[in-house]
Every structure is written in C-alpha cells, then in structure tokens.
Amino acid sequence: MKQRLKRWTIRLTAVAFGFVVAVNAAFALVIAKPGWAFPHSVSVKGLSIHAPAPLPEQATRQWARALLQGMQSSPIPLTQDRYDIYVTGPGWRYTLFFLPVRFAGGVVYPMNRRAVFLSGADFAADRLIKGQRMIEPPRTLTHYGRHELVHLAQMEAAGRLRYLMAEAWLREGLADYIALGPTSAQDANAIGAYPKDHDRSALRDAYGGYPEHRVRVTEALQTTDATSLWLEGG
C-alpha cells in the first residue's frame, strides 16, 4: 500500500511539474510574440506603438517622439534598433499580458527585451489608464514608458540574469530616477517622514512609483555615476 501511494505521489508530482513547465513555456511564447493580439500600430523611428484598436496617429506619434527624445539623455542608453510598446487596454489582454504582475501599469519581461507592456493610454493627455482610473502626475504616461524602457536598457547593459538578481531599490529606484529625475531634499524628508503603517498609494501618487528607492538612488549617485551604480550593484 505504501509503495503504491509513493508511486502515485511521484506520478502526480511529475504531472504537476510538467503542467507548470508547459504553462510557463506557453506564457514565454506569448510574451516573445505578442503581435497577434495587437492589430493596430503607429511607428516613429525605432519605436512602434501597438494596440487592439486604432490609435490617434498624431497624438501617438508626438508622444513617441517625446519619449525617444527623453531617452537620449538616459545614462543607461538603449542599444537596439527597434522597440515595441503594447497597450493592452482593459479586458483579457491585460489579464494575459500582466498575469504575473496584476494591478501593475507597466511591465517588461526578460524573454522579450524589445517589448514594453502598458495597461492603457491617453496619448494626447499623456496619462496612463489602469482599469477605469486615469493616473495623475508625476506618474504620467511618459513616466511609465520611460521607466519601462530603462528596464530594457538595464537588461541590455548587464544581462537578463543580473537584471533579475538586482535588488529592488537599485533596479526600480534607478528606473524611476531616470524617468523622474533626482529626489529633492525637501521631498526626501517628506518621504522619510511618511508613516510606515499608512496606505502607500498616496505616497506613490505624490512622488512616483518607488519613492523610497529613488531617494536611495539619489543619495548613491552623489558619489558615483548611474552606469557604475547599476553594473557594480551599489
């Protein structure tokens, strides 16, 4: 009886493991080739914006040009000749492409180092849309786009493994630093004084997605440069 139970346990474990591997492989394939879900696109230079529905061409092009221009001053540069931003909108596309990071507004994946996924966009207003909510400054649509493109640049500079193993304060703080700029001394004091047991959403709304991490990066960059900080791990 014990031997039979052991054999069934091994079989069920193997089936479960195989199922997990298959699901992860399928998800990786979807992320690597997402174009089938986004039939409409607008391209500017080396950046293409993709969406399920037709895009406002003039506003999208203007936003994309401004985003690329801002990335030219990034201390961790983009090095590939083409990048894609996929705007999922609400519904099944958001559920699928944001599956591991539910409730996020933007995400990148190591299995596709050319792709950024955003939850929704009003290009004319420069606002990210998440569900039914339009996110207000300082977390503009440009901020989200730049933050995620910096993540791609981080992967290009240090490799996928180094990117995944980096501490959150360095990976996310540096991306927000490049997207929003350094934290002022006044803002750093306000962030430091924010009660730890209070809702963090108000802090993010006021100072960006990773306020404490950006403070730490701002302090670290007083004695080194962004590229060295990223490659040497702080």
- CA distances 162 to 5, 97, 126, 159, 168, Å, are 42, 23, 32, 6, 12
64-75 pLDDT tens trace:
999 999 999 999
pLDDT band at 53 (very low <50, low <70, confident <90, very high): very high
Domain residue spans of the chain? 27-158, 166-234
So what's the pLDDT on residue 137? 92
Give 27-158's CATH code, choosing from 3.30.420, 3.40.30, 1.20.58, 3.40.50: 3.40.30
Does the CA dihedral 97-99-100-101 come out positive or negative? positive
- Is it the case that residue 150 has pLDDT exceeding 90? yes
In which band, very low, low, confident or very high, does the pLDDT at 29 lie, cut at 50, 70 and 90? confident
Residue 23: pLDDT band by 50, 70, 90 thresholds? low
pLDDT value of residue 230: 93
What's the CA gap between 183 and 177, in Å, rounded? 8
So what's the pLDDT on residue 216? 95
Confidence label for 21 from pLDDT (cuts 50, 70 and 90) = low
Q: What is the pLDDT of residue 132?
A: 86
Which of 19-23, 25-29, 117-121 is predicted most confidently?
Answer: 117-121
Q: Is the pLDDT of residue 6 over 80?
A: no
Q: What is the mean pLDDT of the chain?
A: 91
Q: What are phi and psi of 8, to 5 degrees?
A: -65, -35
pLDDT at 16 over 80: no
List, in sequence order, every residue forming a beta bridge with 129; answer none if it has no partner. Answer: 134
Instruction: List, for residues 165-178, the tens digit of each pLDDT value.
Output: 999 999 999 999 99
Q: Is the pTM of this model over 0.95?
A: no
- The kind and range of the H/E element at 44 are strand 40-44
Residue with tokens 């958001």, as numbered in its chain: 94
